[in-house]
């Protein structure tokens, strides 16, 4: 096992939003998710669950002695619907339930049809709904936007509207995180001069995948960017690959991403 693999795995674990966004989720599966977060190498940055499981996940993480574990959720998910009132109401309910972070889906289809005002208004309104206590991560759905120009424009719009993070994907479409999209987004963050963070979600399955995004972010924004306050991975099965790597086990078949 290369020492560098273990260093990447340790860092990636600290930066991960351990995620379960499945239609068959239950209190039992979310409890199991919380248990899996209590690794021998420390917890991930956050758990990301559907809004109806925020309270349960928070209670379970406290029961397991993980008070530092953030609880994230999703709103306007997964379709990025063009309904500002709906997105705001979902965000308000999530924050009231105790969500520390909200990943809201950008109305990407309306944006692709030329309506950029809707996206800006929705993000600004959801940012206000988050108040002072919750982070707002904006999911751009870059696999649908596809074109570098559109990804860049959506990134700039989200940052200007107040996003605390910009995120690649819901994990629910054919193409999710890619290094190409990540590069565009990271360059937009750099050129904005803001403290906006970045989250790669979907398709990050193993240490090698994680290393690709970590090196890319470091090249564009520097090593100081690689903290939970600025960089995240959204994944589910990635955890097993990271733990196997850190344990010195064969990690070649471990890890899938939502």
> pLDDT by residue (tens digit) across 202-224?
999 999 999 999 999 999 999 99
Tokens encoding 191: 């050129």
Catalytic status, residue 250: no
Which residue ranges make up each domain of the chain? 3-246
Among the listed residues 5, 137, 199, 209, the single catalytic one is 199
pLDDT band with cut points at 50, 70 and 90 for residue 257: very low
pLDDT band at 147 (very low <50, low <70, confident <90, very high): very high
Catalytic residue among 17, 100, 103, 164: 103
Q: Beta-carbon neighbour count of residue 197 at 10 Å?
A: 22
Using one digit for the tens of pLDDT, what is the confidence trace for 63-119?
A: 999 999 999 999 999 999 999 999 999 999 999 999 999 999 999 999 999 999 999
Which residues have C-beta within 8 Å of that of residue 52, sequence separation ≥ 6?
none
Is 198's pLDDT higher than 80? yes
Distinct helix (H) and strand (E) counts, the chain:
11, 8
Q: Which fold has domain 3-246?
A: TIM Barrel (3.20.20)
Report whether pLDDT(255) > 80: no
Which among 58, 70, 137, 167 is annotated as catalytic? 167
Q: Is 83 a catalytic residue?
A: no
pLDDT digits (tens, 9 = 90+) for 170-184: 999 999 999 999 999
Residue 58 appears among annotated catalytic residues: no
Q: How does the average pLDDT of the chain come out, rounded?
A: 96
DSSP reduced 3-state for 106: coil
């Amino acid at each position: 096992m290369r020492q560098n693999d273990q260093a990447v795995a340790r860092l990636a674990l600290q930066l991960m939003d351990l995620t379960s966004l499945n239609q068959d989720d239950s209190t039992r599966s979310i409890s199991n998710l919380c248990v899996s977060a209590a690794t021998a190498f420390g917890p991930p940055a956050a758990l990301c669950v559907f809004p109806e499981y925020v309270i349960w996940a928070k209670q379970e993480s406290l029961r397991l002695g993980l008070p530092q574990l953030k609880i994230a959720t999703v709103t306007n998910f997964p379709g990025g619907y063009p309904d500002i009132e709906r997105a705001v109401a979902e965000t308000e309910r999530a924050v009231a339930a105790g969500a520390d972070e909200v990943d809201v889906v950008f109305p990407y289809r309306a944006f692709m049809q030329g309506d950029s005002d809707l996206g800006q208004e929705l993000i600004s309104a959801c940012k206000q709904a988050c108040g002072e206590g919750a982070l707002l991560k904006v999911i751009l759905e870059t696999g649908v936007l596809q074109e570098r120009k559109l990804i860049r424009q959506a990134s700039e719009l989200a940052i200007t509207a107040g996003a605390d993070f910009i995120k690649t994907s819901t994990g629910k479409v054919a193409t999710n995180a890619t290094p190409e999209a990540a590069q565009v987004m990271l360059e937009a963050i750099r050129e904005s001069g803001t403290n906006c963070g970045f989250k790669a979600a979907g398709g990050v399955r193993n240490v090698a995948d994680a290393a690709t995004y970590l090196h890319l972010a470091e090249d564009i924004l520097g090593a100081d960017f690689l903290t939970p306050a600025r960089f995240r991975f959204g994944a589910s099965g990635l955890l097993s690959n990271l733990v196997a790597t850190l344990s010195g086990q064969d990690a070649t078949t471990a890890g899938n991403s939502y």
